[in-house]
Amino acid sequence: MSAVEPHVILRMGSHAEKDYFSKTIHLFDGIILGANLVEATPGASASLLVRFAGQKTKLPYYLDPMTYAFGSYVDGTNRHRSDLDWIKSEQTRKTKSGTKEKYRDFKRSYRGLADRIGEPLKSAIAKGRAIPPEAFNDAVLTESFCKAVVDYQLNRIQEILGEDTEFKEYAAEAPRPAVVFAPYFYIDPTNPVAWTTAVLNLASASTALSPERPVHAALCADMELLTNQSLIQRLVTELPKTQAKGVWLWFSGLLEEQADGPHLAALKSLVQRLSASMQVYNMHGGYLSLALSKYGMHGISHGVGYGEQKGVLPVIGQSTPTVRYYLPSVYKRFGVPQIARCFKELGIETPQDFHDKICDCVICKGIVTTSIDDFDAFGEMHKSTPSSRRFAQTPSAAKRCRFHFLLNRAKELKWMKTATVADVVGQLQEARGTWGPQPSMQSELGYLGVWESLLAS
Amino acid sequence: MASFERESLLYPLVADYKRQKSFQLQAPEMQFYEYRIDLFGFSPTLNLSVSVELKLNNWRRAVEQALLYQLCSDYSFIALPEPIVKRVNLDLLSSHGIGLIAVGAAGLCREVLGAAQSKVVRAFYRDAYIDLLQRRQ
């Protein structure tokens, strides 16, 4: 498949991100929400979608059914897990004596989702056991499950509005998603053949329902699947036969800036082959995936700050990561001192130099005004509570970094629509020439050369 | 041979050594954005500041951090146990103006490579850190 016009769909991780969407969503091609977010916050999610995707704006929206969360996975210690622990959390309840006790149970959002969709999710929750791939050898169960998942995506927002006294009158005009996803599961590396069969069956059964929206499949797997030639060949042959109009790739562990040439070449090849018969998206993609639009990648989705890659296994119990500054020239985030360390050598001495050589988005123009030392505002630190032992990035600094990133991503999207492969490669070469020799950056810029070779070949 | 089980065991030895070099005002673990400068010192006599990154093994990582500390200090060093020092690429350190301190078996420190005065130091950072250090004393 030759070049296609790229699309960027912003993924909302929580309603705390609403401000970013309100101010920038018009620059992008759609919004995607996880069904767990919808079930955790039904009213807020439905009203948000009416606002962004309603009659006035008609922004395409997508509901990720999150069915993979009810399957098995391999945890951080390489153990195969089928206890669904990844959708549980520590909760507190009052005992009869009035004391509080902690216990571990399913998150309310996933329990709610299982209640809405029904089998086999309900039984998985009741038994506390992941759904095995063999469950979808049963054609009757597979069909009813697909119908429930598709109907959920088509009707859930309307249902929520109908139950709300304030929004009831708008229920009939509730926006419908741009596409519906077939149920999907993580192609567990301990049983990849059976899971691939299940995912293909679920896609076929969903398209057979002929819903009122195009059906898209999702291919969620460990990045090592990319080098499993027999399975890739099977997917390339059989995914188009499911009649799905699109596929969303999610290769867990595949970080565009860290992946080696062979994995990225396998991704490019897969995109080229699949895009001959369907739209291909990267569910958690970054700039490289955007550039792969020159080879058929129809779109990418990602969050507002960090989320251009996402592991299947959720990250639990870590402190809030610093939102680093997205350096537009190299399409990667860096800490403030790493960038500031380059100023002298790159001849950046004034705010104007900064705007000419680093970034001239409205955020940067508003922050770096009197001196290049103003750049510090993107990394500003504080003690979040009086008892905090460590300093952490201030919420304002994180917000600046996120807005700056979103404005740059929108700029990249616009540019990519008309750029040629030679333009993209040329920019990468220029970035490597300018930033590559910088001592504080050079150990982290090896990907620029890898991307250049990948895109040029 | 003395072995250092923890990075923090290097601190008092290097701190003493730098104190002898007139960097009387010192503080451990000064936060610099996401990083912590293991030792930040200031010499009122020389009106110069110094930062030292301590590491037990990973000298490359120490260099990466020392490069950043050149933004806020006049001199930037890495300090390693003596047996690790022979692995270090001195040309690399020299090209970036980073100094190297070896912490020996008896707890004595030795300057293997002097640091060059930072060409990228920014008064914005340097003065703020010196001020912070002076207020702490």
Per-residue 3-state assignment (H helix, E strand, C coil) for B74-124: CEEEEEEEHHHHCCCCHHHHHHHCCEEEEECCCCCEEEEECCCCCCCCCHH
Question: Under an 8 A CB cutoff, do A345 and B64 touch?
Answer: no
Residue range A252-270: average pLDDT? 96
Judging contacts by C-beta atoms under 8 Å, the chain A residues touching residue B31 are 381, 390-391
Average pLDDT taken over every residue of chain A: 94
Per-residue burial over A58-89, b if 16 or more Cβ lie within 10 Å, else e, is: ebbbbbbbbbbbbbbbbeeeeeebbebebbbe
Q: How far is B26 from chain A (nearest CA, A)?
A: 19
Average pLDDT over residues A370-387: 90
pLDDT of residue A77: 83
The reported pLDDT for the residue numbered B1 is 44
How close, in Å, is residue B94 to chain A by CA atoms?
13
- Whether B71 sits inside 8 A of A371 (CB atoms) is no
Q: Is the pLDDT of residue B71 over 50?
A: yes
Dihedral sign computed on CA atoms, order A435, A439, A443, A444:
negative
Count of beta carbons in the 10 Å neighbourhood of residue A241: 12
In chain A, the percentage of residues whose pLDDT exceeds 70 is 97
Rounded Cα–Cα distance for residues A159 and A168 (Å): 9
Interface check A260 vs B, CB under 8 A: no
Chain B contact for A381 (CB, 8 A cutoff)? yes
- Nearest CB to A340: which of B34, B35, B71? B71
A330 token code pair: 């190299």
Lowest mean per-residue pLDDT among A256-265, A377-386, B17-26, B127-136: A377-386
Of the residues B33, B58, B98, the best mutation for testing chain A's interface (the one with the most A CB atoms within 10 Å of its CB) is B33
Enumerate residues 67 to 86 of chain B having a beta carbon within 8 A of any beta carbon in chain A. Answer: 67-68, 70-71
Nearest to B7 by CA among B62, B86, B65: B62
* Preceding peptide of A120 cis, ω within 30°: yes
Residue B61 and residue B80 in contact, taking contact as beta carbons nearer than 8 Å: no
**Has residue A306 got a pLDDT over 70?**
no
| Spacing of C-alpha A189 from chain mean position | 21
CA distance A316 to chain B (A): 20
Residue A315: its pLDDT value, please? 61
**Predicted confidence (pLDDT) at residue A70 exceeds the cutoff of 80:** yes
Q: Which residues of A touch B64 (CB under 8 A)?
A: 440, 443
User: Does the ipTM surpass 0.95?
Assistant: no
Task: Kindly report, residue by residue over A73-107, the tens digit of the pLDDT.
Answer: 888 788 888 999 989 999 998 888 888 899 999 99
What tokens does A47 get?
Answer: 């009203």
Residue A90 β-bridge partners: A104
Which residues in chain B (27-56) have CB-CB distances under 8 A to chain A? 31-35
CB nearest B122 (choices: A335, A373, A440): A373
In the predicted model, is pLDDT for residue A361 greater than 90?
yes
Size of interface A-B (CB pairs under 8 A): 41
Q: What is the identity of the amino acid at A152?
A: Y
Query: What is the distance in angstroms between the Cα of B58 and the nearest Cα belonging to chain A?
Result: 14
State the Cα angle at B64 between B61 and B68, rounded to 5°.
140
Q: Is A219 helix (H, G, I), strand (E, B) or coil?
A: strand
Q: What is the pTM of this model?
A: 0.94
* B10 or B136: which leads in pLDDT: B10
Nearest CA in chain A to B95: A439
Q: What is the DSSP string of A131-172?
A: PPGGGGG-HHHHHHHHHHHHHHHHHHHHHHHHH-TTTGGGGG
Q: Which residues of B touch A376 (CB under 8 A)?
A: 124
Tell me the sheet residues that pair with A297: A280
Kindly report the nearest CA distance between residue B97 and chain A, in angstroms: 11
User: Which phi and psi angles does A300 have, rounded to 5°?
Assistant: -135, 160
- Numbers of helices and strands, H then E, in chain A: 16, 17
Query: Given phi > 0 = left and psi -120 to 50 = alpha, else beta, which region is A171?
Result: alpha
